[in-house]
Amino acid sequence: MMSGKAKSSTNTYHHGDLRSALIDAAIKIVAKKGASGLSLRAVAKEIDVSSAAPYHHFKDKQKLLGAIVEVGLEKFNRALTRSVKDSSSPDDRLRALGVAYVIFATENPNLFELIQSPDFAGDSAPANLAKERERNFRILFETIAACMPNASESQLRTGCAAAWALVHGIAVLAIDRRLNAVMPYEDLGSAMTNLIEQIGFTKAIRRDI
Amino acid sequence: MMSGKAKSSTNTYHHGDLRSALIDAAIKIVAKKGASGLSLRAVAKEIDVSSAAPYHHFKDKQKLLGAIVEVGLEKFNRALTRSVKDSSSPDDRLRALGVAYVIFATENPNLFELIQSPDFAGDSAPANLAKERERNFRILFETIAACMPNASESQLRTGCAAAWALVHGIAVLAIDRRLNAVMPYEDLGSAMTNLIEQIGFTKAIRRDI
DNA sequence: CAGGATATCTAAGCAGTGTCAAGATAAAGT
DNA sequence: ACTTTATCTTGACACTGCTTAGATATCCTG
């Protein structure tokens, strides 16, 4: 038989590097049709392998999704890390971090929703993902800590929770254009600045210390 | 044949009040296993009708879910309306509204997630749901308006967006115990008070007017 | 009260899904 | 060269949403 597929990069065996190929194809499908629109058979067909082939690399459909979440979290992490690099003042960094969070969500809506789905973000999430998530939280924690130099650990945690909840809420609502319906805007970045100004976020945090 | 099912209330035809029975059974399944764990066939089996029966009352599985969202939104609406009844000051009302929002979400996690899912909350959502959602928004808008008596329409809208995003973010994160992981708490209500205090929400809003 | 129109339900089946067991094929190791 | 192992295919099972054709009860009109 021998399918005439072009081998993507380093060819080690039978059909090519199936595991990575599956992840790549699945990521594309998720980006286009969302996690609920992904079927293992479609992924397999895309790469021109049998429907059962994926099961030699992933125990489950859930495991494949988990792999997508993993690379998604890395991408997310890079975006957040990049965002705090160019700002000098702590407040600016916090703002930039929030904007980057929301921008990532709106630019990768399906990926973001998968990453945040209960199966991978809840307390029953796989351990390797928890580690990646911890890295993301560190960025926020340190940024907040710089904004509140005299705060206690518990105050910092509360600050993180508040900042995270606000930004996460904006992200979730912005993805489905529900925020826009309430508060019409053209540029999401400036809209967020408005929101943050209105809520007096950084000022409010500092005032309570 | 004639199944010996007990007729729930007002029996008008063949098998009982199938439409309501379907919705009721579906609501229970969604509450237990989430929207993704619901199958029309399971619903049909629960009520002891054939697998095709639901299609005479709902064109789609999506339509059944839409009906669930409708009663869910009404329930949500009642909870929110109730919450603002017992507070006198505008700030207290806003706080109570936020707490009620989050409490509803954590007490009905699967229903809340269904209600907020893009299919029913996005811009492609059915019109009847939009109406119910408008009612919910009115409650927030009037509460915010009472907090910001001198604000312009656009300022009020921004205030709504900020309050909504914060509370929605808390709700979404609290459902999966992700907030608790960052900021451990026992009572969600007092935790929210902490958060709102920290962020200086109502104060910040008023200050900007 | 008959008898046709209508609403409601069932039976059977199609296409698609996740998943598994058994076998085929190729690569790696001895 | 021969065995072991990794990789992939075939074929199947149970389940899903949904459709078409027909059965059955209710309603409405004459």
* Domains of chain A and any CATH numbers: 13-59 (1.10.10.60), 68-207 (1.10.357.10)
Which of A154, A168, A176 is opposite residue B172, by nearest beta carbon? A168
The one-letter code for the residue type at A34 is G
What is the Cα–Cα distance from A181 to A40, expressed in whole angstroms?
36
Q: How far is CA A104 from the centre of its chain?
A: 7
- Nucleotides of strand C lying closer than 7 angstroms to a protein CB: 7-13, 16-22, 25-28
Across the A:B interface, residue pairs with CB atoms under 8 Å apart total 139
- Report CB contact under 8 Å: A205, B200: yes
- Report CB contact under 8 Å: A173, B168: yes
User: Quick one: pLDDT band at residue B209, thresholds 50, 70, 90?
Assistant: very low
- What pTM, to 2 d.p., does this model score? 0.91
Interface of A with B in 109-128 (CB under 8 A): 113, 116, 118, 121-123
Residue B25: closest CA among B71, B73, B59, B60: B71
Contacts of A30 (CB under 8 A, 6+ apart): A37, A38, A68, A110, A111, A114
Could you tell me if B170 and B179 are in contact, meaning their C-beta atoms sit under 8 angstroms apart? yes
Which residue on chain A is closest to B141 by alpha carbon? A182
CA dihedral over B120, B23, B59, A33, signed as positive or negative: positive
Q: Which nucleotide is nearest to A58 (CA to C1')?
A: C19
The CA–CA distances, whole Å, from B35 to A145, B56, B65, B128 equal: 39, 21, 8, 20
End-to-end CA distance of chain A: 71
- Report CB contact under 8 Å: A205, B198: yes
Could you tell me if A35 and A113 are in contact, meaning their C-beta atoms sit under 8 angstroms apart? yes
Token pair of A177 as six digits: 């254009």
Q: A118-125 long-range CB contacts below 8 Å, 24 or more apart?
A: A118/B113, A118/B175, A118/B176, A119/A62, A119/A65, A120/A65, A120/A66, A120/A69, A121/B176, A121/B178, A122/B176, A122/B177, A122/B178, A123/B176, A123/B177, A123/B181
User: Quick one: pLDDT band at residue B200, thresholds 50, 70, 90?
Assistant: low
Task: Tell whether the model's pLDDT for residue B80 goes beyond 90.
Answer: yes
From the CA of B58, how many Å to the C1' of C22?
43
CA dihedral over B62, B178, A98, B201, signed as positive or negative: positive
The CA–CA distances, whole Å, from A97 to A59, A140, A164 equal: 36, 8, 10
End-to-end CA distance of chain B: 71
Region B96-107: mean pLDDT is 96
Task: Tell whether A181 lies on the interface with B, counting CB pairs under 8 A.
Answer: yes
Could you tell me if B70 and B27 are in contact, meaning their C-beta atoms sit under 8 angstroms apart? no
Task: Tell whether B99 lies on the interface with A, counting CB pairs under 8 A.
Answer: no
From the CA of B63, how many Å to the C1' of D23?
26
| Residues listed for chain A | 209
Token pair of A164 as six digits: 């995270």
Residue B86: closest CA among B96, B77, B76, B78: B96
Kindly give the confidence (pLDDT) of every residue in chain A, 209 residues in length, as a single tens digit, with 9 standing for 90 and above. Answer: 333 333 333 334 466 789 999 999 999 999 999 999 999 999 999 999 999 999 999 999 999 999 999 999 999 999 999 999 988 899 889 989 999 999 999 999 999 999 999 999 998 899 999 999 999 999 999 999 998 888 899 989 998 999 999 999 999 999 999 999 999 999 999 898 888 777 655 444 444 43
Buried b / exposed e over B50-88, threshold 16 CB at 10 Å, is eeebbeeebeebeebbbbbbbebbeebbebbeebbeeee
Could you tell me if B61 and B40 are in contact, meaning their C-beta atoms sit under 8 angstroms apart? yes
From the CA of B32, how many Å to the C1' of D27?
39
- Closest approach of B57 to chain A, Cα-based (Å): 25
